Amino acid sequence: MSDPLKGLIEILTTQTAILQAAYAKTGAEVPSVDSPFQFSPLELDPSLKEARDLVVAAATQLIATAQSPMDVLFSKMTGLYDTVTLGFVIDVNIPEILKEAGEQGTHVKEISAKTGVDSSYIARVLRYLAARHIFSELTPDVFAHNRLSSLLTKTKSLKEIQEDPIARFDDAPLAAFLHLSSDEYITSSAFFSSFIKNPEQAAAPFNIAYKTPKKMWEWYKEPGNEYRSRRFNDGIKNATDAMFPPQIFISGINGDALKPEDVVVDVGGNAGSETFPKLRYVVQDLEQPIAAGEKLWNEKNPEALKSGKVQLQVHDFFSPQPVKNAAVYFLRLICHDWPDKDARKILANLRAAAGAQSKLVVFDGLVKHVTKDPGSGTSAPYPLLPNWGEDL
C-alpha cells in the first residue's frame, strides 16, 4: 500500500490542475480567497464537481494527517466558536458596515461607533474569523471583506436594517440561516447528549433548551419571537435552489412521465417552485410561509396563481392530507426534522390520501457509511475515506 501522504498530495496536484485548466479556458484564474466574491458559472459546473470534491476531501484528510492528534481534536472542540462569531457579526451588521466601507476596509473603532460594541471585542472576533479566511485584516485592526465574508451581507443597507430590524433578513437566506444556527440551533445543541441518552424526556433538544412542549413552529408564534419566525422563513426561501441543482427534483418527480394536469403536492414546500408547466402544483405549508409564498409568486409569476396551475394551501402535515389521489406527493427536507414516530404520522397521512398510482418522493439526507458500501455508488480513490469524507 502506497504512502497515504503522497497519495493525498497527488490527488491535490491532479485535481487542482483540472480546476485551473477549466478557469484558464475562460481567461480567468481560480478565484483567490482574498478577492471579493463574483459569481462564475464554473462555480456550479457539474463537470467540475468531482474535482472540487476530491480537492476538499484530500485537503481535509491532509490536515488530519499532518496535524498532531491533539491539535485536530482541539480544533473540533473549538469549532462552536465559528458558529457564534459568525452569528455575532451578522447580528450587529458588521458585513453591511464593511460593504459600505469598500476595499480600503474600516478600523474597529469605526465599527464600534456604528454597532455600540466595544472595539476590543470586535477586533478579536474579526481576527478569529480572518484567521479562518473569513474577512481580511488589511493592517492592524483594519478589516475588509474577502471572497467568503462578502456572502454574509444582507440585501438591505445598514440604514434600512436599522429602520426595520425584523425584516433585515428578507431576501438574504444565507445570513438568515447562519444567524439561526447561532441562535436556536446552537442553544438546542447544548442538550444533544442529554436528549440522546433519554429521548423520551422531550420531543427534541429544542424543547429541553427552551423549556417548552411546543413544536418550534408553534413556539415561533409566541410574542417576542416574530423576528425568529420571519428569519426562519427568510432562511429557507430559495435555500434549496441555492444548495441543490434543480435537476435533482426534476429527476425525482419524473415529470416527463406524468400526464397533463396531473397534480404534484409539495408538502411543507414553503414558497414552492414550478418545473413542468403541464402539471398542477399544490404547495402546502403553515400560514406564515404560505403568506410569504403568495408574495413571492405574485412578484415572480402571478399568472401561475391566477390560472390555478399553482395553488398555495395552508396545511399542517400532521393533519389528514386534503388533496386526494395526487400523482406525486413530494416531501422536501421534511423527515429529518422529526423523530421516527412523527415521521410515520406524516407518511401515514399521505398514504391515506394516496391513490393506487400515486408516487411518494422523499428528498432528504441519509448518513453515509464511512466504509465501502456496495449500494452507495462510486467510492473515493485511495487514500481518501470511501465516502469522500462526507456524512450526508
Please list the active-site residues: 336
Element (H, E) at 329: strand 328-332
Reduced to 3 states (helix: H, G, I; strand: E, B; else coil), residue 260 is coil
How many whole angstroms separate alpha carbon 392 and alpha carbon 389?
A: 9
69 to each of 63, 66, 74, 131, 387, how far by Cα in Å?
A: 10, 9, 9, 21, 21
Cell numbers linked to 320: 389528514
Dihedral-angle region of residue 284 (phi above 0 means left; psi in -120 to 50 means alpha; beta otherwise) = beta
Q: What CA–CA distances, in Å, run from 344 to 200, 222, 341?
A: 17, 28, 5
CA distance 108 to 311: 50
